[in-house]
Structure 1
Amino acid sequence: MELFRLTVAQARAGLLARRFSCEEYAAALLARARAFPEVNAWAAQDPERLLAQARAVDASGRVADGGQRLAGVPLAIKDNIDVAGLPCAAGTGALGRRRPAGNAGVVRDLLDAGALVAGKTGMHELAMGITSNNAVTGAVRNPYDLTRIPGGSSGGSAAAVAAGFAPAALGTDTGGSVRLPAALCGLAGLRPSIGRYAADGLVPLSRTRDAVGPMARTVADTALLDAILSGDETLSQVELSGLRLGVPRASMLSDLEAGTAQVMESVLRTLASQGVVLVEADVPRYRELDESIGFPLVLYELEQDLPAFLAAEGQPLSLADVHAGIGSPDVAAIVAAQLGDRAVGGEAYRQARRQRSHMQAICADYFRSHRLDGMIFPTTPLPASRIGEDATTELNGKQVPLFPTFVRNTDPGSVAGLPGISLPAGLSRGLPVGVEIDGPPHSDRWLLSVAMAIEALLPAMPEPEFRGREAVAAGAMQ
């Protein structure tokens, strides 16, 4: 198998067995990225530094002694997570010269486990969208079809892993920004419970909603990164027979793209054949509450926290200063609203916090009253849309608003603080379809155990074909 196709576990095994060196592995990943520059997954990369660090690992013997679980494995890091010596601009113009002196806590944890940084990945500007069509850094493209979005906001992280530029990556998830690109790029992606990982060194969007999350080709790799980042090693042997999963059909399985619906129903039939108890039940007022809570939390916290974060490191920029450097029209409009007469104020924010507590109580009762181990639903109602469809996209013959359509299933769980993992479940029109499992708060390792058992029943995801290269090369796409 080519080195760029290896999972984290396979790469680690190959390094331990000395089938290849760290330098050879890093060089193979760099060569793969050079072969497909159209993906535009990287926001910043230092190939010579990566190769030098790989040579140092080879010379140190750290791989052979087995003491570091990620020794010699390069990982991709989203451009809103600090890495010392590399830019960290959150994909926006005003922060373009920002070069942090230290590493974010999650990066320190990975480096302590022996990992290398493959590079910083492109993202939707300021993490405020789901296309990763960034007017400042250029559109990130889906490796399955280069004319399609990879999802967002962690689109570069997902595209880098799917394309074979790195075996795993970190993104951040506020309303679906790990799970959604994982689904659209055929990966596993975890949004952990809030507070599970170190939170320093992250360019903030919403402090009560932001969560760093790992994504990889397998649940096992995702679980390994979670264990390193959380210190929690627990995994359970899950017996699928008797497992109880809620199926929120009315709110989260309705109005799906035909291929997505077929994949979802196939997954449910497979689970039922294994004895999983599928409980048809929706969370009361789930989407209604999400729509009234989500944006007030994000906008108010952004206005308070982003300037404070920048000031603390000696870069005193107001939200208006940041707005002046925004290139993407959709992001500029959102930030402008918070700077104008429609700004979310303190009372609206406090009301949203109270409503969220009510939503969390409803979710707790949902899991308790139905005796559920989790709930299952399609991560997105449709596969990847075309790059450039920034306002609307087509779903079942109608033009629908793009952002709320794509996040309608992922956002409620993030507002309620539920951990969730998206798994690759099949294809629709040659594009990946994801299925998500959410669990009660702080059930992360149990959720990963369940996901691992379900993953074993799902079809293997084919390698991306990089369709649309000719159109991109001809300049037919943005």
Structure 2
Amino acid sequence: MGSVQERMSACLARIHAQDHRWRAMLALNPQAEAQALESGLKASIEGKPLHGFILAVKDNIDVAGMATTSGCKALAGAMPRQDAAVLRKLREAGVLIIGKTNLSEFSFEIRSRSSLGGDVLCPFAPHATAGGSSGGSAVAVACGYADGALGTDTGGSIRVPASCNGLVGFRPAHGALSMEGIAPLAPSTDTVGPITRNVDDALRLYRAMGGKVVLPPSVAGLRIGLLRQAYGEDQSIVAAVEAAASRLWDHGVELIDPVRVEGLEALIEGPHIVDVEFASAFNAYLAHNFQPGTAPASLADILESGQYLADYSAVLKARLGANPDAAGRVLERHDQLAALLKDTMGHYGLDGLLYPTMRVIPQDLANPKGGWAPELAARTGWPAITVPVAPHGAVRPIGAELLAPTGQEGLIFALARLMGNT
């Protein structure tokens, strides 16, 4: 394993040697080596469960002394007042910050492309997107730049890149963790969570961030439904998820196959909450989050500057013109979806639902047509986890997602330990 300082130096060396290819990092922490040295001089301290854990942080999450850019050139000098609330907790647990990661600018898409960093590329397929919007965080972990990373997830932005890069990604229940010091996309569905190589590290990070988890004594007898409506047509994905389900069966989990949720697709269609909430939330964030004079005063100022990804000109203008009063109608559909899923699970006697994280494996740099499955957690507010399930020897990773109602986080982590192919 080596000392903390040696591990930090090795991670930095990998970034300097490799990241010109993948574009995962936007900035390195200038204090990273000094903090590793200080940490290494101390013995592993009781009460510091993540002593020496090296963390990369999505660049829409505040790190004191480093700009929080959301990938946007206009925010290149935007200096936060302090660490984000979850990051303060992680530092107390012993975490060391190596740097800030590239992302989809403003977290708008499920690919990662920004005016500051360009496209984040998948190390398993350099011709393809790494997924998004937390793509830089996922690639940083996949390439060994860090032990784990933080991402944000509004509609799939932790789970999609984790799936694309063979990693574990956990989206907490909405409201489970503080979003203080994190750029908003849609406050009604925004979350922050870990991306890691294994389930246990995701659990450790989540607990250190303030998450509450009670693991069940056994998974035997739990009932998991296979939501084949979300599967898509790629038979390699279908087979990998079925193999993950079989691993759960081997541990005594009952599988209900298939489960059908009548009316599900209709509730996923229509206006997205991001279209309604983004502009007002981001304007408030610009007004209050940064040290005076370091950030644009408003989204309108960013638009006027031209210092943003040209791809987003139309959507920025549309979201600036959105009527925030429309949020109530969108959120009513979210409530209807949560009620529908709760009723369906009650009908089948289910503890959770299993399905592919994405319907496709990205083959280019376009925004992938991954399907609506990641929106199930986003719109219900329930927690969900993706784990890598591709067979050994597969060229491209595949993720399977497990969803359960809020309060069942322990069940999610216990089952995730068993269904992954790691």
For Structure 1 versus Structure 2, the TM-score category normalised by the shorter chain is over 0.9
Which amino acid is 2:149 matched to? A
Partner of 2:379: 415
Kept in 1: contact 2:86–2:210 (CA 8 A) = no
Give the corresponding residue for 1:34: 16
- The one-letter amino acid of 1:451's match is A
Supply the distance in 2 between the matched residues of 1:98 and 1:128 (Cα, whole angstroms). Answer: 19
Aligned to 1:338: 319
Please point out which of 287, 292, 314 is paired with 1:311.
287
Give 1:101 shift.
2.9
1:83-232 matched pairs, under 5 angstroms:
83-232=63-212
Q: Structure 2 unaligned segments of length 5 or more: list them.
A: none
Q: 2:409 aligns with which of 432, 444, 456?
A: 444
Q: Secondary structure at the match of 2:284?
A: helix
The worse-fitting range, judged by mean Cα deviation, of 266-275 and 366-375 is 266-275
Count of paired positions: 414
**2:375 & 2:147 partners in 1: Cα distance?**
27
**2:397 is aligned with 1:432:** yes
Deviates more, 1:195-204 or 1:183-192: 195-204
1:247 to 2:226 alignment: yes
2: distance between equivalents of 1:381 and 1:321? 38
Displacement of 1:128 in angstroms is 0.3
In the other structure, the counterpart of 1:54 is 36
Partners of 2:94 and 2:246 lie apart in 1 by: 41
In structure 2, the residue matched to 1:3 is none
Distance 1:370 1:344 in 2: 40
CA distance in 1, matches of 2:384, 2:117: 29
Which stretch of structure 1 is more off in the superposition, 144-153 or 264-273? Answer: 264-273
1:326, CA displacement in angstroms? 5.5
Q: More deviation in 275-284 or 176-185?
A: 275-284
CA distance in structure 1 between the aligned counterparts of 2:195 and 2:370, rounded to whole angstroms: 19
- Tell me, in whole angstroms, the C-alpha distance in 2 between the residues paired with 1:409 and 1:330: 25
Q: Map of 1:257-272 to 2, 5 A cutoff?
A: 257-272=234-249
Q: Is 2:370 the partner of 1:406? A: yes
Amino acid at match of 2:248: L
Contact 1:307/1:316 (8 A) holds in 2 = no
Retained in 2: the 8 A contact 1:259–1:429? no
Write the distance in 2 (CA, Å) between the matches of 1:252 and 1:190: 19
Gap change, CA 1:191 and 1:304, over 3 Å in 2 = same
- The amino acid across from 2:315 in the alignment is I
Whether 1:351 and 2:329 are equivalent positions in the alignment is yes
Q: Return closer, same or farther for 1:188/1:417 CA change in 2, 3 Å cut-off.
A: same
> How far apart, CA to CA, are the structure 2 residues paired with 1:30 and 1:227?
27
After superposition, where does 1:53-92 map in structure 2 within 5 Å? Answer: 53-59=35-41, 61=42, 63-92=43-72
TM-score w.r.t. the length of structure 2 is 0.93
SS at match of 1:377: strand
CA distance in 2, matches of 1:32, 1:316: 34
> Which amino acid is the alignment partner of residue 334 of structure 1?
V
- Quick check: 1:178–1:191 contact (8 Å CA) kept in 2? yes
Instruction: Give the superposition deviation at 1:27.
Output: 0.5
Identity of aligned residues (%): 32
